[in-house]
A and B are shown apart, each in its own frame.
Chain A
């Protein structure tokens, strides 16, 4: 599945790398004790440290370190036992210290990988270059006053993980799959809620184009793209722009660009000549961060089963297709739900129900897996009723809708509505005899070669039994009677 842009001078290939800023789930900030709740009144979650009052000093929040290590392990990455916090110096009104405490030369996490699950069921591996911890800045509000900007420092100092991929992606779909998978891993780990709408996951996209076999060309960095859909759009637009530029004889300049979601285009923010000189240097207020292998191992021992391992297990133990397994494991709660339903039952049927009628009902009603329209036990019960021929697959759909409506167990519904499948051959035979007697002419036609009428008889029998007759038995007996 190779993605190419057809230009006048031939085909162009995309090279994409992503820098994802993921807000660490933690009650307090990276270097202060202030709270991190989203949506609080402006400037109500600001400590003296976050406001950079004179003489204030940062103190590392150990829990954020643990989250960083946990995430690194989840990305199968190298954990650096020594890392260093550095100051990234620049002036901005929502950056109280005049520098951001980040990690530069010595990040806490080194190289790792993310395996993408592509829509066709195939996989691709994208390298992780590094993960480092850093403080978030505050927020500038430019729309509150005609001539002034307001500053909200609630976010100032909140811990972020910057996760930098290698330039390993070759299509907008791969970039989307990367973000989806990364988000899934972070959620499994509980280190980031992955909520792009609230800004707890933000994305910078590096895009360049090249002819097949060429080394990398100059890239542009598109800042702060805040949904997977926009990442897709921004990449497509930017790649096309670069191709057009090259083909008109121009050159791509290394620069920072902004994605305008309204116009669906990228615009230059600042070029390399105007790039900040951040004057990084080790933060003298913080000693180098030294971890022990025991500490890392202890965190490793608490890691949950992650999507890739779970997917493998689902394929192995439940004999699901890679595609089905990939869909199920994308969300941990869904995977758990599936496993409860599948326990002791036909996994393929469980998968079909979870991903089919159940998902549809959940979406239709705006429910979530934590507050499902039908409990796993009831859904499992329904599958049992199909498996032991109590109800047919067709009736099961009706029962399911009643379960959604009433919340009742499937067996209760079947009994109340008298939906139990008729498997009594005597009763079915009686129905068939009645149908054949009432349609003597059609029986004649059938016998003289009009095979298609068989369906008609089945339909009549099912109608006569209120749909409850076991379809396989009806077929069998009908065939016998019609000779």
Chain B
């Protein structure tokens, strides 16, 4: 394995500037790693030729002193972002051969910043899942192994599992994720990465295949907090093409990494200790609190009383929106079509052939909760609870600057281990979903290993549009935790 693939984005940025290596060399090293790691199934579509072309352009720009913030840095693009001229599948059969004529705002911004995209990374179908096993193109394997049994293939988490596996296995320096209920943070935790879901409205959703419009948000997945800050800076910004995009100033996120969190108040929500929370996760959390105390911050116990309703609320709101968002995949204009004798039969056949089990499950739930006679009891009630959950956070942030919780209830699990019960899978997101419902920024930072040698992350939650504080605190924890473990073989 090339030393070049072990660099962080910040290091590679300096190396390119100092001409210690070229963007083409950096890209080739990573392309070689991609080729050697196909067993992980992290990529749905590799674009090596495009990448080398871009890398050459980057070298030219670097030579002229016109480098963008991400100039020449190899990244992976979650296959939920529509990319012009490159197949964009959402890991669904229904979009298996869909090649957009347009580029999503966020992927376009990253390219403009000089990032070299090596390909499209795998995800749970339409971002619905927490293990990457619902992808139509096969599961993704986590590069991390259990000490007790390295032969067990573990999931990378989901839905941004391909991105997580690729960054973790050093195939790319960073990758885009999208997060609806935890799809950036949970896989980051499972793969020992930093994953940031920004405030809802921070990144444009234009050109991202929609799952649940009121929750979807793009964000970076990287190996360090600094890299997350660097990458985030080139993803955010107001976009008039997205009516829910926020017209707020874009700060210099990297400048927020001062290392100084003295006097800061850190909220510790008492409701995030459900019965059955493992001793391992409890200890991880306690250790995290200790790190912040040592750095001069003050932990404050807070209450987020509606936390227990977050999961059921999410599983009404998200499927409701998805049932409507996915109606456009009807076989009429693009995507998979299976002919039928009537229009209705064509719809039924196309959608049955095009959508996997989990997607169908959520469309059915969503259709049900929006139906006449059930709408008030489910959807309206869920919207009210969502408001209460957001109010809980708003109240907490009157006294604290940031909130610390576990990211996920466990370390990465084995492929196929939760097949029989979707609820088990859904429970993976109990700590991340409330943040999503409230639209707040949330970041997972790796702070320890499980007894079985697997990475575990803690989640930091910030005020709306205060990604800076979240990043600042995360960097302090990152340093305190000294998380240097790498997956087997790296």
Interface residues of A (CB under 8 A from B): 48, 51-60, 87, 89, 91-93, 96-99, 149, 151, 277, 279-281, 284-287
B212: nearest residue on chain A (CB-CB)? A284
**Contact (Cβ within 8 A) B206 A55:** yes
Interface contact A281-B328, CB-CB below 8 Å: no
Which residues does chain B contribute within 8 Å of A53, judged by CB atoms? 82, 100, 102, 334
A98 touches B98 (CB 8 A): no
Main secondary structure of the interface of B (DSSP, over half): loop
Given B88, B100, B372, which contacts A277 in the complex, CB threshold below 8 Å?
B372
B323-342: contact bitstring with A at CB < 8 Å (1 yes, 0 no)?
11011101011100000000
> Residues of B contacting A97 with CB < 8 Å?
327-328
**B221 interfacial by beta-carbon distance below 8 Å:** no
Q: Is the CB of B324 within 8 A of A98?
A: yes
Nearest chain B residue, comparing its CB with the CB of A286 = B243
Instruction: Check B370–A55 contact: CB distance below 8 A.
Output: no
Q: Contact: B321 with A59, CB < 8 Å? A: no
Contact (A52, B328) CB under 8 Å given A284-B321, A287-B244: yes
Contacts of B327 in A (CB 8 A): 89, 91, 97-99
Residue among B102, B210, B243, B343 making CB contact with A59, cutoff 8 Å: B243
Q: Are B343 and A87 in contact (CB under 8 A)?
A: no
Tell me whether A279 and B328 are in contact in the complex, defined as CB-CB below 8 angstroms, given that A52-B333, A54-B90 are known contacts: no
Contacts of B214 in A (CB 8 A): 284
Interface residues of A: mostly helix, strand, loop or mixed? loop
Partner of B242, one of A57, A89, A277: A57
Collect the chain B residues with CB atoms within 8 Å of residue A54's CB.
82, 88, 90, 95, 98, 100, 209-210, 328
- The answer to whether B343 touches A93 (Cβ under 8 A) is yes
A–B pairs, 10, beta carbons within 8 Å: A48-B101, A53-B334, A54-B90, A54-B210, A55-B208, A55-B209, A60-B243, A89-B324, A91-B344, A280-B375
Nearest-neighbour CB distance to chain A for B15, whole angstroms, equals 35
Residue of A48, A96, A285 most packed against chain B (CB within 10 A): A285
Give the number of residue pairs across the A-B interface with Cβ within 8 Å.
Answer: 97
B333 contacts which of A59, A96, A277, A285 (Cβ < 8 Å)?
A96
Tell whether B371 is near chain A: CB-to-CB under 8 Å: yes
Q: How far is the CA of A149 from the CA of B375 in the complex (A)?
A: 34
Q: Is B355 an interface residue (CB 8 A)?
A: no
Q: Do B330 and A98 have beta carbons less than 8 Å apart?
A: yes
Minimum Cβ distance to chain B for residue A129 (Å) = 21
Q: Whole-angstrom distance between the alpha carbons of A60 and B242 in the complex?
A: 10
- B: number of interface residues (CB 8 Å): 44
Quick one: which of B239-285 are within 8 Å of A by CB?
240-244
Out of A55, A56, A59, A279, which one reaches B324, CB within 8 Å?
Answer: A279
A149–B321 Cα distance when bound, in Å, is: 30
Among A98, A149, A277, A286, contact of B328 (Cβ-Cβ < 8 Å):
A98
Complex formed: what's the CA distance from A96 to B333 in Å? 8
Within 57-105 of B, Cβ neighbours of A (below 8 Å) are at 81-82, 88, 90, 95, 98, 100-102, 104
- When chains A and B are docked, how far (Å) is the Cα of A52 from the Cα of B324? 12
Q: Which residues of B contact A55 (CB under 8 A)?
A: 81-82, 100, 104, 205-210
For A56, what are the chain B residues with a Cβ–Cβ distance below 8 Å? Answer: 206-207
State the Cβ distance, A49 to closest chain B Cβ, in Å. 9
With both beta carbons as reference points, the residue of chain A lying nearest to B380 in the complex is identified as A281
Do residues B367 and A279 form an inter-chain contact, with CB atoms below 8 A?
A: yes
Q: How far is the CB of A30 from chain B (nearest CB, A)?
A: 13
Asked whether any CB of chain A lies closer than 8 Å to the CB of B190, the reply is no
B213: which of A60, A280, A285 is its contact (CB, 8 Å)?
A285
The distance from the CB of A91 to the nearest CB of chain B, in whole angstroms, is 6
Question: Measured between C-beta atoms, what is the minimum distance from A42 to chain B in Å?
Answer: 14
Q: Would you call B314 an interface residue if the criterion is a C-beta within 8 Å of the partner chain's C-beta atoms?
A: no
CB contacts (< 8 Å) of B137 on chain A: these are none
